[in-house]
Amino acid sequence: MEAPELRQLPRYPAVGGTCVIALGIFALAPPDMVEPLQLDLRAFWAEPWRILTSNLLHAAQLQSEDFLGGLFHVGFNCYWIWLLGTQVEARLGHLRTLGLLVAFGLGGALLEYGMSGPAVGLSGVVYGLVGMLVVLARRPDRSGTSPRWRGCIDDRSRNLMGVWFLACIAMTLLEVMPIANFAHAGGAILGALVGWSLRTSDSRAAKPNTASDSGPDAGPRRFIPARLASAGLALGLFAALASVARPWVNLSTRAGIDAMVLAQRADSNDELELALRYAERGVGYWRTPADHWAYLGGLYYRNGDPAKAASALAEAVARDPENDDYRLAQTQFEQIAAASQH
């Protein structure tokens, strides 16, 4: 299995353009310029583009000290997108392929944010392509899968990506390095569902030598709408997990970090009301750290609400009962709240 030569890039604007943009951002954009592209809580309030643009960012920018890790990250992802994505673009066309890349990127980012925390990179897109092509490369069944998809992913590539998927989970569990495993899973699930929707019963699929099916660039296969709807439902579910259902499904200590960073930034700019709004969204998860609750308590007190401050400190004490400072602050806030009622 060989990737097309780079001089053929103009033939694949969807795939090639995605890789060029990701590599360009990595090589040229300083960290302060990529901040508006990062995924955080603001994506679900007023800046939804962050869900998609976070896919174009990678572990570190070229200007950072950890640029080698970032270079491997962006290089690995772009290689596989070029290798597999060009196969798809040659068969489905530019716009459909671009739509799939967007869908896989959204799905991976949403599921990762919902179940863990903000992430970056095109890994969800890579596994979306892998999931799609693995399903399409299976032997024809009663639905009559077109032979045009055979060979789009070989056994070696499929096995390698499967091993890498498991290795990434192991590295995360062993705390070797944090990896966006839910992004991999989200992309793979969507890709498999899209591949399933393309396994058509078109009678021409059994006649690979006909003029309409005689090459990889022949007319694109049609999606089966009822099957494709399952991918849409999965994407909707990922969106729900990343927003309204997140406090109940997210078991990660990273769940509220982005909100607390935004709260501290607003606080430093003397925007207390905005800081409170962010901080309130940074707590309430299963494993919210005690210091998040304590910080929220301090914001409530400064905002003139000692009762809420005491309640927040009570949560901090429940998560860190050995911290005497939290207990003392809770007692003081309770006394101030009681005095204010008289």
User: Considering its fold, how many domains does the chain have in total?
Assistant: 2
* Most confident among 9-18, 144-153, 197-206 (mean pLDDT): 9-18
| Gap between the Cα atoms of 74 and 19, Å rounded | 9
Could you tell me if 101 and 209 lie in one domain?
yes
Average pLDDT in the chain: 88
* Final residue before a domain boundary, out of 249, 284, 306: 249
Contact 198, 221 (CB under 8 A): yes
If pLDDT is split at 50, 70 and 90, which confidence band does 28 have?
A: confident
Q: How far is CA 10 from CA 13, 94, 126, in A?
A: 6, 11, 20
If pLDDT is split at 50, 70 and 90, which confidence band does 224 have?
A: confident
Average pLDDT over every residue of 46-56 = 96
Q: Is residue 274 pLDDT above 60, yes or no?
A: yes
Average pLDDT over every residue of 61-83 = 82
Report the percentage of the chain scoring pLDDT > 70.
88
- What is the pTM (predicted TM-score) of this model? 0.88
Instruction: Calculate the CA dihedral of residues 130, 133, 138, 144 and round it to 10 degrees.
Output: 150
Average pLDDT over every residue of 269-295 = 96
Please name which of 79, 92, 160, 171 lies closest in space to residue 122, comparing C-alpha atoms: 79
Could you tell me if 32 and 150 lie in one domain?
yes
Question: Rounded to 5 degrees, what angle do the CA atoms 154, 158, 183 make?
Answer: 140
Could you tell me if 272 and 243 lie in one domain?
no
* Phi-psi sector, 77: left (phi>0), alpha (psi -120 to 50), beta: alpha
Q: Is residue 76 part of a domain?
A: yes
Question: What's the length of the chain?
Answer: 342
How confident is the model at residue 170, as a pLDDT?
96
Could you tell me if 185 and 57 lie in one domain?
yes
Average pLDDT over every residue of 50-60 = 89
* Final residue before a domain boundary, out of 196, 230, 249: 249
Residue 312 sits in which domain range? 257-340
Which residue reads 């992004």 in tokens?
A: 183
Token pair in block for residue 123: 């890994």
Token pair in block for residue 21: 């943009």
| Gap between the Cα atoms of 337 and 325, Å rounded | 18
Could you tell me if 239 and 305 lie in one domain?
no
Q: Is residue 163 part of a domain?
A: yes
Could you tell me if 310 and 196 lie in one domain?
no
Q: Give rounded-to-5 percent helix, strand, coil for the chain.
A: 70, 0, 30
